[in-house]
Amino acid sequence: MPRAVGMLVYPGFQLLDAAGPISAFEIAARFDPGAYGLTVVSRDGGWTASSSGAAFDTMAFDKAPAFDTLLISGGDGVRAPATCEATLDYVRRTARSARRTASVCSGSYVLAAAGLLEGKRATTHWSRTKDFQKRFPGVRLEADRIWVQDGPIWSSAGITAGIDLALAMIGADLGEAVARRTAQQLVVYHRRPGGQSQFSALLELKGGRFDALLAWARENLARPLSVEELAERAAMSPRNFARLFAAETGSTPAKAIERLRVEAARALLDSAPLQVEDIALESGFGDSERMRRAFIRVYGQPPQALRRAAKAG
């Protein structure tokens, strides 16, 4: 029997918050036929427009089936459902019988307003964290995480992180092989672990003329990636390259490469069954002690501590 998955939307929801997870479950059901049945619900039913104007034809709460999993979309219009007692009551009632209840992006406001996040770990879009913490001080917000599971309650960060959340659920339901094939079909990373930062080193460096070089470096972290090698690829002298790189990115080449390596190693640490020594080699650190020192500089903790925290979460 298909696992019934409901996506709750409202006027002004973010289209990708809903469409991303829906697509992941739909594709997973191609590889495991009958695994999921999908229903989009709203308070009143009928056509419900997203913030882009594109609309979903939805089923009203009072006509919706019982759900195995309920997801709540985020979006600019989230304040209305977060203060609508009919919506909050529906979410509470559904959560009592559902195996999982989840939010995508600012859908966390609805979960929190319904009381489902009180005392629990959760995340939301990085731009909402200060407001969210002010409104819901009883939630243990982990603002820098892609997704968080605390018992039957799941939450995810902004927009595309809803796909990561869905892939994690698919992996738990159908196994990692199906989740991996689903990610490949979606042409997304399989799969960003929950503990990965919402922020990408490539976005933070904002290298301008060096964007392509940094992207190449991230795909070639096992190489030495010395200043000389990077300068040669950028067709500059090492001295001129180092000077311009620092001026453009605000970082030395060595620090930038270390940040890329740490980010790659963190993803492997959370999602791959590799020894720390093997991760150090694969991400270009060469040895685990060098990687340990880099992790402490960036995260304030060694790799083993972060891996234990990820498993505990």
Q: Residue 105 catalytic?
A: yes
DSSP string over 259-302? HHHHHHHHHHHHHS---HHHHHHHTT--SHHHHHHHHHHHHSS-
Give 3-state DSSP helix, strand, coil % of the chain, rounded to 5. Answer: 50, 15, 30
Could you identify the residue written with the tokens 């001129």? Answer: 240
- Cα–Cα distance for residue pair 305/145, rounded to 1 Å: 16
Q: Which H or E run includes 102?
A: strand 100-104
Token duo for residue 233: 């690829």
Token duo for residue 220: 């070639």
The total of other beta-carbon atoms located within 10 Å of residue 242's CB is 17
Cα 313 to chain centroid, rounded: 14
Q: Tell me which of 105, 213, 262, 268 is the catalytic residue.
A: 105
* Residues involved in catalysis: 105
